[in-house]
Structure 1
Amino acid sequence: MSWRERLMDVRPLRDSRHFRDLWIGSSLASIGRQIAVVAVLLQVWDLTHSSFWTGIIGLATGLPLLALGLVGGSLADTVDRRSLVRLTTVGQALTAAGLVAQAAAGNRSVALLLALVAAQSGCSALGAPARRTFPVRLLPADQVAAGLALQNIAFQASMLVGPALAGFVLARWHYPAAYTIQFLAGLASLAAVVRLPPMPALTAEDGPETDGGSRSRRGPVRGGWRISLQRPTLWGSLSVDLAATVLAMPVALFPLVNEIRFAGDPRTLGFFLTALALGGLGAGLFSGTVTRLRRGGLVQLVAATVWGLALAGFGVAGPIWLSLLCLAVAGAADTVSVVTRGALVQLETPDRYRGRVSSVEHVIGIAGPEIGNFRGGVLASLTSAPVALLVGGLTAALAVVSVGLVNRPLRAYRVPAEHEAVRQAEVS
């Protein structure tokens, strides 16, 4: 492999105009969302001066995602996915316009603000499963992982740029300007979606069944869970992600670790989050090293194991440089695991189930980290933050290794070559 191939794999941007447009629009929308997140947090605080209400933002965002995510997966397998994402993106743009209007009008109702946040989150949840299927429909099989890596890079970059830009905009032009940026970025995303080709979901009549004869129309919501549990590669990959996040998620412990080791310096707390994001961004910039590998299942297993071990190392690290290094390694490993899992799930799922299985992946991706942060906080309250990190990281690594040992299809999984992918699409 040449040094250029080890860098970010940009073949999807070069070879697919539709994916390139989608990536640009989605990247701008992601930055807009990060700006809006900071704006909502600060506006709720200004309205209430209550940490209870700032915590309610999480419920206003998370509950619609969990409630409507599976519904969105079912819709993605019954209607044209481009049309579904068009409608939900329009809904997100309208709620962004509502945020602009309430800020410009000097709104003093926190309930109205949170209602708009919940509505926007609900639109996102309905469209997210369909969006997840776009790379596998727009790209050849050997470029799907590269496409997901590019999407992940854009997300990591927005995590770095968005909050800093939000602080500047809010300080200079206040809430209406921040929400207007999100609205304009949402329009750019909508323009990219409008130009996509039609993406009708395939039905059972498009080819023979590959899941034991079950018809895709039966059990529209259960179908995603059923196909995920029936296929070892799918349940194995999703189990690895769940084990890694539930058992080792560290973010809730950052303030306590910072208080114990670094006297609660807010700059250090910020460095913790930045180190995770920089590690993920660095892995993305060199994503060609892993996206061209065909042993996707093994790569995910190794990356998730490294994630757990790196967080265990963070639990016992002393100097700030070593703590940040462990977090950067964990962030890089997380990016590799997320990218390889996403490619495997999309390629291993028959098209008529992709929406529902994507909704399962989406729900696990939301619930896992939240449960993991809760678990870490409880364990730290009973022991200490370093113990919670060490035990959680080692347990996560052990759980991932165990999944790999009992799940040979996941260990042996290979990304199909392009001609194999065409054949699979014809029969699935």
Structure 2
Amino acid sequence: MSALLARLLPNTAPWRDSRDFRLTWTSGTVTMLGSIFTMTAIPLQIAHLTSSPLAVGAVGAVELVPAVLFGLYGGVLADRADRRTVALVTEVALAALSALLLANALLGTPAVWPLYAAAGVAAALQGIQQPSLDAMIPRLVPHEQLVAAGALLSLRGSIATVAAPAAAGLLIAGAGVPAAFLVDLATFLVSIALLARVRPVPSERDAESPQLGEFVEGARYAARRPDLVGTYLADLAATVFALPTALFPFLAQELDAVWALGLLYSSAAVGSLLAAATGGWTERVHRHGRLVLLSVALVGAATATAAVAPGLWAVLLCLTVAGAAHWIGDTFRSAIWNQSIPDELRGRAAGLEMLIGSAGPALGDLRAGGLAARQGILAALRTGGLLCLGSAAVLPAAFPALWRYDQRAHGREPSPAESTP
């Protein structure tokens, strides 16, 4: 039994061996915990002030354009500037944004437009920050520990999204929305202090002023690799079609369980946490592409089943399974990206990955909110799941290179020239 448990538990070697990975991991955990308080508070405020599913879903549309524009620049910046510095400066700016949200919430009647403005500005700042954070990781841990590092980063996100939504719901119910923004601000201050202790991670390229046109080089590299393109489309299929968070305030009403809103938000994270806590097996899998594609199928099936599940607890179980499947897909996508993309392109590749990661949920919220407004909450949930499942059937045939991907062929980073099929 102890041997089996050891094989299932995640490998903590990156956390033990690398001081800077440990600081970055902890900083990100603290930031995520606080940010989820804000992510819970904003849709609740909009739902309360507008009573419109479409208005809640529109938050994703507001985030999309800044995420695209600034994510492009953030990827280029990560290949030119010190990645730690970029992460630290944007973290300070995000803390200031939380302070402004707190000020708006303390008004007698909070205005709606600052909520959308804050969502857009936060998306822009995260677009600049995330490529640098992602591109730092292969510089902080050895190549052979990248899968383990990716699993630990996923575990971090799972811990935050399990603990924070329910806590945020209870805090908002007891102390009001301003308390959620205050918690977010406090966690940013802690995160800033931790990031400041990370050693610089300078670019290996000449320190010229970054030009947005340089992103094209990274995009061309990705386009020459159908296995990478397949991972991006798999991510989009799972998030555009089967990540229905915009529906949760209204799904809770549909289920006559408004008290369970926090559980709906955290259910997918519970699945992710369970998968991450038993994710030691991921280091023994070599066909990473197959796990990416199979995870999309499982996400779609679980989401579609949630639409016909008999009652709250069955819905929560389906969403938990979907969360576990999302974790599997995220872990193996991250492994493919980190193992096979050269460092001189990693910032721009991370920018592209961040764009996909931002665009998917944003488009998914808009799709789910618009469809729910026309056909109802459960129809939007069911249709999204079936579309995701259908995508999982098409992707292996469209991108056989992803289905065949074997991490044993990527013991070292290929050059851009070597990446051409």
When normalised by structure 2's length, the TM-score is 0.82
For residues 378 and 107 of structure 2, the distance between their equivalents in structure 1, rounded to whole angstroms, comes to 47
One-letter amino acid of the structure 1 residue matched with residue 279 of structure 2: S
Q: What residue number does 2:25 align with?
A: 23
> CA 1:33 to 1:245, structure 2 compared with 1: closer, same or farther past 3 Å?
closer
Query: Partner letter of residue 21 of structure 1?
Result: L
Alignment partner of 1:81 is 2:83: yes
Equivalent residues in 2 for 1:169-248, closer than 5 Å: 169-170=171-172, 178-203=180-205, 219-248=213-242
C-alpha separation in 1, matches of 2:40 and 2:114: 17
Equivalent position to 1:149, from 133, 151, 154: 151
2:204 is paired with a residue of what secondary structure? coil
Contact residue 75 and residue 349 of structure 2 kept, 8 A: yes
**Structure 2: distance between partners of 1:222 and 1:361:** 14
1:132 paired with 2:134, answer yes
2:70–2:128 Cα contact (<8 Å) kept: yes
Structure 1: distance between partners of 2:249 and 2:237:
23
CA distance in 2, matches of 1:386, 1:10: 40
User: SS state of the match for residue 214, structure 2?
Assistant: coil
Aligned-residue Cα RMSD (Å) equals 3.7
- Write the distance in 2 (CA, Å) between the matches of 1:395 and 1:123: 31
- For residues 8-56 of structure 1, the C-alpha deviation after alignment (integer angstroms, 9 at most, x for no partner) is 332221121111111111111111112233455566788x667587667
Instruction: Sort the Cα spacing of 1:180 and 1:246 in 2 relative to 1 into closer, same or farther, 3 A.
Output: closer
Cα pair distance change 1:19/1:107, threshold 3 Å: farther
**Greater mean alpha carbon deviation, residues 100-109 or residues 26-35:** 100-109
Cα deviation for residue 341 of structure 1 reads 0.8
Which of 269-278 and 331-340 deviates more? 269-278
Structure 1 residues 291 and 314, CA gap change in structure 2 (3 angstroms): farther
Letter of the 1:265 counterpart? A
Q: Is the 8 A contact 1:304 1:397 kept in 2?
A: yes
Shift of 1:391: 5.0
C-alpha separation in 2, matches of 1:247 and 1:269: 21
Q: In the alignment, which residue of structure 1 is the partner of 2:281?
A: 289
Runs of 5+ in structure 2 lacking a partner?
Answer: none
Structure 2 Cα separation of the partners of residues 131 and 188 of structure 1: 17
Contact 2:162-2:267 within 8 A present in 1 as well: no
Letter in 1 for 2:329: S
**Offset, 1:150:** 2.2
TM-superposition CA deviations, 1:141-196 (whole Å, max 9, x none): 33223222222222233223223433555566666654443233212222332222
Please list every run of 5 or more consecutive structure 1 residues that lacks an aligned counterpart in the other structure.
Answer: 206-215
For residue 346 of structure 1, what is the amino acid of its counterpart?
N
1:355 is matched with 347
Distance in 2 between the 1:382 and 1:170 partners? 30
SS in 2 for 1:197: coil
- Say whether residues 1:303 and 2:295 are aligned partners: yes
Amino acid in structure 2 at the alignment position of 1:421: R
For residues 173 and 288 of structure 1, the distance between their equivalents in structure 2, rounded to whole angstroms, comes to: 40
CA positional deviation for 1:101: 5.8
Matched-pair contact (CA < 8 Å) for 2:166–2:263 = no
Q: Which amino acid aligns with 1:344?
A: I
Q: Could you give the per-residue CA deviations for residues 70-91 of structure 1, whole angstroms, max 9, x where no partner exists?
A: 1111111221212211221222
Is the CA contact (8 Å cut-off) linking 1:142 and 1:416 kept in structure 2?
Answer: no
Contact kept? 1:96, 1:182, Cα under 8 Å:
yes
- Quick one: distance in 2 between partners of 1:403 and 1:413? 14
Q: In structure 2, what is the Cα distance between the partners aligned to 1:326 and 1:119? A: 33
Structure 1 stretch displaced more, 382-391 or 61-70: 382-391
Structure 2 Cα separation of the partners of residues 173 and 356 of structure 1 = 42
Provide the residue aligned with 1:209 in structure 2. none
Q: Could you tell me whether the CA contact under 8 Å between 1:100 and 1:180 is conserved in 2? A: yes
**TM-score, with length taken from structure 1:** 0.81
> Which secondary structure does the structure 1 equivalent of 2:125 belong to?
helix
Contact 1:169 1:178 in 2 (8 A): yes
**1:153-164 to 2 correspondences below 5 Å:** 153-164=155-166
Change (3 A) 1:223 1:304: same
Query: Is 1:314 aligned to 2:306, yes or no?
Result: yes
In 1, distance between residues paired with 2:193 and 2:335?
Answer: 25
1:365–1:422 CA distance, 2 compared to 1 (3 A):
closer
Question: Which range moves more in the overlay, 361-370 or 381-390?
Answer: 381-390
Pairs within 5 Å for 1:402-417: 402-416=394-408
1:133 partner SS: helix
- Tell me whether 1:421 sits opposite 2:421 in the alignment: no
Task: Supply the AA of the counterpart residue of 2:214.
Answer: P
